[in-house]
Amino acid sequence: MRKSNYRVVIALLLFFAGMLNYLDRAALSVMAPMIKGDLHIDDAQMGGLFSAFFIGYCLFCFIGGWSADKFGPRKVFSFAAAFWSVFCGATALVTGFTHLLIVRVLFGIGEGPMGTTTNKSISNWFPRKEVGRAVGFTNAGQPLGAAIAAPIVGLVGLNFGWRIAFVVIAALGFVWLASWRLLFTDKPEQHPRVSDAEKALIARDRPATTFTQDKKQEDTYTLWYYVFSKPVLGVAAAFFCFNYIQYFFLSWLPSYLTDFQHLDIKSMSIIGILPWLGATAGFIGGGIVTDILYRRSGNFLFSRKAVIFTGLTIAAGCVLMTAYTRNTAGAVALITVASIFAYMTPQACWSLLQDIVPAHRIGTAGGFVHLLANLAGILSPSITGLLIQYGGGYQSAFILSSCLALVGVIALAILVRQNKVNELFGKTPSQKEAITQH
């Protein structure tokens, strides 16, 4: 690796962190048919277990973001990775519903800081013109982790039992932790392998430098001024609506394929890869498109919002059509297309947030957004489980997810507007053009 390009190493570390996180999370849904039979758990209880993860996760999204601002992403990610790996492995020891519920909450605490700490790391290590691609690439590891979870966890579970699958994943977490400690520093200025030229390139054009305030302003505005502003809440709303779809798929797609489409676990493990490969393409493609739109328009806000609008709208249509599709091939195709476009949304949300919040508040504000967005992780799996067992089944679950995607589009259009961003930073009308065209 050339010294002038060391930030590629950082991107790869964050990519593999996201892959491991979603491999960990998806493992329970892939093994759900086995675990339900072994531990005598019904669909409503399974939905509760999927949601339990997000009780700890949501709280530590915010705490993790605040910690990343205060202590730096290196320490926070190190602690988080060790914690989540221990409790992923502890899943192999559970003997019933209550034990598994407790382990899932603790496991969620460990993974909570991941998203906001990743965003803080990107803010520190990448120039503004590369933010879209950096966020898109690093976060592409997440759906790819969910994709490989189906064959890896499914086949390990079939051959060695579902408990061994969780032990194997925990071991991978500790391998990543060792790499992170060896290769990462909080800022490029601290790393001996980063050239002076690369340090200067990053420092000249760090995200949120347009709005970096002087010391007096930093002391004047509290973090609550930013986190409760309309633009930040608008990003959180769009992120929440995307997450509702994401956690519906992440938690219930394997069960949908086995229970509703009547696939066996082996077939599900192979076919279940497709939507997550589509999601990976959406993450990477969305990051590329946002950077292209920014270069051509010069408008950071427009480039991010256009991608979110397009992604959520097309995803809503595909999810709605899936509700009325009985053919397995057609349903998987629609879910895959929905994943491609839906997964253009989160990277645009993260990079948009970096432009509407000053650098010294990005970890905390990002943590707050992530907390609100991941309340969907509590609601989506539980509501879906209740709908499957007591309501309109999978059809009603798909319809609800589709409607929420459109709610995200509306919230973003109303709350995240250029004049609202200008007001957030106390910009005058004469400064608007400079902000928009930076």
* Per-residue model confidence as pLDDT tens digits over 216-229: 444 466 767 777 88
Answer whether residue 287 shows pLDDT above 50: yes
Q: What is the pLDDT of residue 139?
A: 79
Q: What is the pLDDT of residue 403?
A: 96
Phi-psi bin for 191: left (phi > 0), alpha (psi -120 to 50), beta?
beta
Alpha-carbon distance 438 to 433, whole Å?
8
- Of 30-44, 98-112, 129-143, 304-318, least confident by mean pLDDT is 129-143
> Which pTM does this prediction carry?
0.70
Q: What is the pLDDT of residue 400?
A: 95
Alpha-carbon distance 342 to 309, whole Å?
10
User: Which residue, chain included where needed, has tokens 């391998």?
Assistant: 175
For range 35-39, the mean pLDDT: 86
Domain ranges of the chain: 3-187+221-437
Q: What is the pLDDT of residue 207?
A: 55
Top CATH class, 3-187+221-437: mainly alpha
Q: What is the pLDDT of residue 1?
A: 42
Contact 394, 316 (CB under 8 A): no
Residues 6 or more apart in contact with residue 391 via CB below 8 angstroms:
none
For the chain, the average pLDDT equals: 83
Provide the pLDDT confidence category of residue 37 given band limits of 50, 70 and 90.
confident
Residue (of 57, 64, 59, 74) closest to 21 by Cα position:
57
Alpha-carbon distance 315 to 254, whole Å?
19
Greater pLDDT, 315 or 264: 315
* Per-residue model confidence as pLDDT tens digits over 394-406: 999 999 999 999 9
For range 422-436, the mean pLDDT: 48
Give me the percent of the chain exceeding a pLDDT of 70.
Answer: 91
Q: What is the pLDDT of residue 86?
A: 94
Residue (of 262, 241, 252) closest to 401 by Cα position:
241
* 3-state DSSP of the chain: CCHHHCHHHHHHHHHHHHHHHHHHHHHHHHHHHHHHHHHCCCHHHHHHHHHHHHHHHHHHHHHHHHHHHHHCHHHHHHHHHHHHHHHHHHHHHCCCHHHHHHHHHHHHHHHCCHHHHHHHHHHHHCCHHHHHHHHHHHHHHHHHHHHHHHHHHHHHHHHHCHHHHHHHHHHHHHHHHHHHHHHCCCCHHHCCCCCHHHHHHHHHCCCCHHHCCCHHHHHHCCHHHHHCCHHHHHHHHHHHHHHHHHHHHHHHHHHHHHHHCCCCHHHHHHHCHHHHHHHHHHHHHHHHHHHHHHHHHCCHHHHHHHHHHHHHHHHHHHHHHHHCCCCHHHHHHHHHHHHHHHCCHHHHHHHHHHHHCCHHHHHHHHHHHHHHHCHHHHHHHHHHHHHHHHCCHHHHHHHHHHHHHHHHHHHHHHHCCHHHHHHHCCCCHHHHHHHHHC
Other beta carbons within 10 Å of 70: 11
